[in-house]
């Protein structure tokens, strides 16, 4: 366990966990590498003109060490150079390269900024700083730096690619396309540009056209592993899990970078689960915890980690919830089995999202439950449990929650038929039953139509609101708003365009008051929507649930249903983005439901 909580506001940022399982990451990020041979060649030429000749041989020693990837020696020579001339922009640039290559991003970005201030004419500094800013999720800053570099090197393929990635990740898709189009016309054999164009199109949910760009990248370079991997993700989204697996395996055979390998393995795990090869999938899913995976969460627990097969009887086990809030609920499906395996003399400790603490305390009164804390420290996501800082010795074993599925949920048959594994507060359920009597007559149908998370293209997996018309026009029911976040526009549109008033429950913050959300969901007759945090809470509480799904959704685990929630009815689109037919089907089914109730 950490000795103390992070305190530096400059390097530490508290994170709000995501709401639902993230889609597979596309391989189309900023390219290039700090200290590449081209960059060092440019640097060497620039250093040849140094007036302070005494420092030039020292810097050249550092360059030679960087070429040899001897970071310790390179650092020693850079320090010597900066002792002689603390205002050497080239010295600070080399320091930035060394710090980045050893993973010290916080010091690296400071060194890049210092170098850029001292040698602003050396545009390569801006390009490298832009890549690091991109990697640290500072996309607007990265955009400015790439544009700075392009002013001196217009049309530079790598920089155009990187600029397009920064624009894409800000969801400025048209701007990204406009950056890429002239570069592709000028350099039509630039494989990475076709690939990045494919990712821009895919981020908008147009996988058939994205495939065209990925295929062109692969025509230009059949060994281009990023394009092969992206093609696999497109095929999974379109429902072709077998084709996705073949493409992903072909990409893995060519990849050399360990962080890319782990990203691809994580995607492969979801493909395996979409094929129903669940046990294999959970084993490969461990890639999310690999130190070299760019998006990994670093758990700070200095206790032995549980592994499948370890005896739990009578032990004290710490389970740390992970991923997003929706995952914390979804994966907690396994906890009743864990408690049974611990036995009467064992003890379960749970670290969950702060808004879920009271819910899990009520559900598992025999467990000790507290809140985990998540911070971004120097570009790395760190999670720990503050409530255990003084009691770490009481823990015999610890595990991320998702890892338990490797032992307890290796097949569909191991998913129990019980309805509900989270308990809502019965007094609050009674309260909401009373409040709902004041709503318009008819069965109460809770609606969920979007995710509030937009940073990872989650929007691709949600129907546009206007296509909810067949559902909203169903007579005989009262629609209840369960959608968290700002939804005033959709509520107004439902009334204006469809003549439907979606009833808003009074006195509840649907994002923060998750205990109240659980109670309200349990009091409602039916919950209909896409997989977001609230739908998972409702289904986990045992509420009748209709889930709208897409062809490649791995959480269906190769079935036509949703094994996590046996009472859930699943409506799956025939093709990715084919929302209209499935929304019409939901509307028809709701009409039947209304007539029966």
Residues 495 and 402 both lie in one domain: no
566 falls within a domain: yes
Q: Is 564 in a helix, a strand, or coil?
A: coil
Interacting residues of 56 by C-beta distance below 8 A, sequence separation 6+:
47, 48, 50
For residue 222, the domain's CATH number is: 1.25.40.10
Strand order in the sheet with 444-448: 478-481, 444-448, 526-529, 545-549, 569-572
Residues in CB range of 467: below 8 A, 6 or more apart: 579, 580, 583
Query: What Å distances lie between residue 438 and 137, 431, 445, 448, CA to CA?
Result: 47, 12, 15, 21
Helices 89-101, 71-84: crossing angle, 10 deg rounding: 160
Would 190 be classed as within a structural domain?
A: yes
Q: Are residues 242 and 110 in the same domain?
A: yes
With CA atoms as reference, report the closest residue to 320 among 309, 305, 337, 340. Answer: 305
Q: In terms of Cα–Cα distance, which of 21, 27, 536 is closest to 274? A: 21
10 Å Cβ neighbour count for 492? 11
Q: How many residues belong to the chain? A: 597
pLDDT category at 101 given cuts 50, 70, 90 is confident
pLDDT at residue 431, rounded to an integer: 97
Q: What is the pLDDT of residues 303-360, one digit of tens each?
A: 999 999 999 999 999 999 998 899 999 999 999 999 999 999 999 999 999 999 999 9
Element (H, E) at 320: strand 316-320
Answer whether residue 280 is part of any domain. Answer: no
Identify whether residues 32 and 180 lie together within a single domain: yes
Q: Is residue 352 part of a domain?
A: yes
**How much is the average pLDDT of 409-434?**
96
Identify the H or E element spanning 279.
helix 278-284
Provide the pairing of β-strand 373-377 with 380-384. antiparallel
Same domain, 516 and 582: yes
Claim to verify: residue 372 and residue 440 sit in the same structural domain: no
pLDDT at residue number 108:
80
- Point out the domain boundary residue: 351, 384, 410: 410
Lowest mean pLDDT among 128-137, 384-393, 434-443: 128-137
In this prediction, residues 137-163 reach a mean pLDDT of 89
Residues contacting residue 270 through CB under 8 Å, at least 6 positions apart: 24, 236, 281, 285, 554
Instruction: pLDDT band for 13, please (50, 70, 90 cuts).
Output: very low
Residue for token digits 């979007």?
Answer: 450
In the chain, how many domains are there?
3
Torsion on CA atoms 409, 242, 567, 23, rounded to nearest 10: 80
Q: Are 200 and 192 in contact (CB under 8 A)?
A: no
Whether the per-residue pLDDT at 3 is higher than 50: the answer is: no
Per-residue model confidence as pLDDT tens digits over 52-85 = 457 788 888 888 888 888 889 989 998 998 898 8
- Domain enclosing residue 125, as ranges: 19-258
383: nearest Cα among 372, 393, 394: 372
Last residue of a domain, one of 258, 283, 306: 258
Q: Is residue 291 part of a domain?
A: no
Q: Give me the pLDDT at residue 455, please.
A: 47
Indicate if the pLDDT at residue 458 is higher than 90. no
In a domain, 284, yes or no: no
Q: Are 93 and 120 in contact (CB under 8 A)?
A: no
Under DSSP, is residue 426 helix (H, G, I), strand (E, B) or coil? helix
The answer to whether the CB of 549 falls within 8 A of the CB of 563 is: no
Domain co-membership, 444 together with 580: yes
Which of 410, 434, 458 represents a domain boundary (last residue)? 410
Domain-embedded: residue 5: no
DSSP string over 49-118: T-S-TTTHHHHHHHHHHHHTT-HHHHHHHHHHHHHH-TT-HHHHHHHHHHHHHTT-HHHHHHHHHHHHHH
Structure tokens at 250: 């072909």
Packed helices 124-135 and 89-101: angle between N→C axes, nearest 10 degrees = 30
- Same domain? 64 vs 183: yes
Query: Does residue 266 sit within a domain?
Result: no
* Pair 195, 57 in one domain: yes
Is there a single domain that holds both residue 476 and residue 524? Answer: yes
Residue 449 and residue 398 share a domain? no
Predicted TM-score (pTM) above 0.75: yes
**Helix/strand number for the chain, H first, E second:** 25, 13
Among 194, 200, 201, 191, which residue's Cα sits nearest to residue 223? 191
CA angle 466, 468, 471 (to 5 degrees): 150
Confidence at 582, pLDDT banded by 50, 70, 90:
very high
Residue 503's SS3 state is strand
Q: How far is it, in rounded angstroms, from Cα 106 to Cα 121? A: 24
pLDDT at 23: 57
Distances (CA, A) of 38 to 32, 34, 190, 193, 366: 10, 10, 17, 19, 61
The distance of Cα 373 from the centroid of its chain, to the nearest Å, equals 17
Predicted confidence band of residue 594 (pLDDT cuts 50, 70, 90) = very high
Report whether pLDDT(570) > 90.
Answer: yes
Q: 86 is written with which tokens? A: 């603390």
On whether both 441 and 397 belong to a single domain, the answer is: no
CATH number of the domain encompassing residue 547: 3.40.50.2000
Q: Are residues 92 and 32 in the same domain?
A: yes
């Amino acid at each position: 366990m950490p000795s103390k909580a992070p305190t530096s506001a400059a390097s530490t940022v508290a994170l709000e966990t995501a709401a639902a399982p993230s889609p597979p990451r596309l391989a189309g990020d900023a390219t290039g590498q700090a200290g590449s041979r081209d960059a060092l060649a440019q640097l060497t030429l620039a250093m040849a003109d140094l007036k302070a000749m005494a420092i030039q041989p020292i810097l050249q020693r550092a360059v030679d060490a960087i070429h040899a990837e001897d970071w310790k020696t390179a650092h020693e020579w850079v320090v010597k150079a900066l002792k002689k001339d603390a205002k050497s922009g080239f010295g600070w640039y080399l320091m930035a390269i060394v710090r980045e290559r050893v993973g010290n991003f916080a010091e690296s970005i400071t060194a890049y900024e210092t170098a850029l201030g001292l040698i602003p004419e050396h545009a390569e500094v801006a390009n490298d700083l832009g890549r690091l800013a991109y990697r640290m999720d500072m996309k607007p800053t990265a955009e400015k730096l790439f544009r700075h570099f392009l002013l001196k090197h217009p049309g530079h393929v790598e920089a155009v690619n990187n600029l397009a990635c920064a624009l894409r990740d800000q969801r400025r898709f048209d701007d990204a396309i406009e950056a890429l189009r002239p570069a592709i016309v000028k350099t039509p054999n630039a494989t990475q540009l076709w690939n990045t164009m494919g990712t821009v199109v895919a981020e908008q949910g147009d996988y058939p056209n994205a495939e065209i760009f990925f295929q062109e990248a692969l025509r230009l370079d059949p060994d281009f592993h990023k394009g092969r991997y992206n093609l696999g993700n497109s095929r999974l989204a379109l429902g072709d899990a077998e084709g996705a697996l073949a493409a992903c395996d072909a990409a893995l055979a060519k990849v050399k970078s360990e962080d890319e390998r782990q990203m691809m393995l994580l995607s492969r795990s979801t493909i395996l689960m979409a094929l129903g090869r669940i046990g294999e999938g959970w084993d490969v899913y461990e890639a999310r915890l690999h130190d070299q995976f760019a998006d990994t969460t670093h758990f700070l627990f200095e206790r032995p980690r549980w592994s499948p097969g370890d005896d739990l009887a009578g032990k004290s086990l710490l389970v740390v919830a992970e991923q997003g809030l929706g995952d914390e609920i979804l994966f907690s499906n396994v906890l009743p089995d864990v408690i049974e395996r611990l036995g009467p003399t064992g003890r379960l400790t749970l670290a969950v999202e702060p808004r879920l603490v009271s819910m899990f305390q009520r559900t598992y009164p025999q467990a000790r439950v507290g809140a985990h804390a998540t911070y971004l420290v120097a570009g790395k996501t760190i999670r720990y449990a503050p409530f255990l800082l003084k009691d770490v010795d009481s823990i015999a074993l610890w595990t991320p929650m998702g890892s338990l599925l490797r032992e307890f949920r290796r097949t569909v048959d191991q998913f129990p038929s019980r309805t509900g594994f989270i308990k809502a507060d019965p007094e609050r359920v009674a309260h909401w039953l009373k409040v709902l009597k004041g709503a318009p007559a008819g069965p109460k149908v809770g609606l969920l139509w979007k995710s509030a998370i937009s940073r990872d293209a989650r929007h691709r997996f949600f129907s546009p609101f206007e296509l909810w018309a067949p559902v909203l026009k169903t007579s005989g029911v009262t629609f209840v708003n369960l959608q968290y976040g700002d939804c005033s526009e959709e509520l107004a549109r439902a009334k204006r365009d469809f003549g439907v008033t979606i009833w808003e429950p009074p006195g509840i913050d649907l994002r923060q008051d998750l205990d109240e959300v659980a109670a309200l969901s349990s009091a409602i007759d039916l919950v209909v929507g896409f997989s977001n945090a609230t739908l998972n809470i409702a289904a986990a509480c045992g509420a009748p649930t209709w889930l709208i799904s897409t062809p490649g959704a791995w959480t269906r685990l190769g079935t036509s249903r949703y094994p996590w929630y046996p009472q859930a009815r699943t409506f799956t689109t025939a093709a990715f983005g084919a929302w209209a037919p499935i929304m019409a089907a939901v509307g028809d089914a709701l009409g039947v439901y209304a007539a029966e109730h």
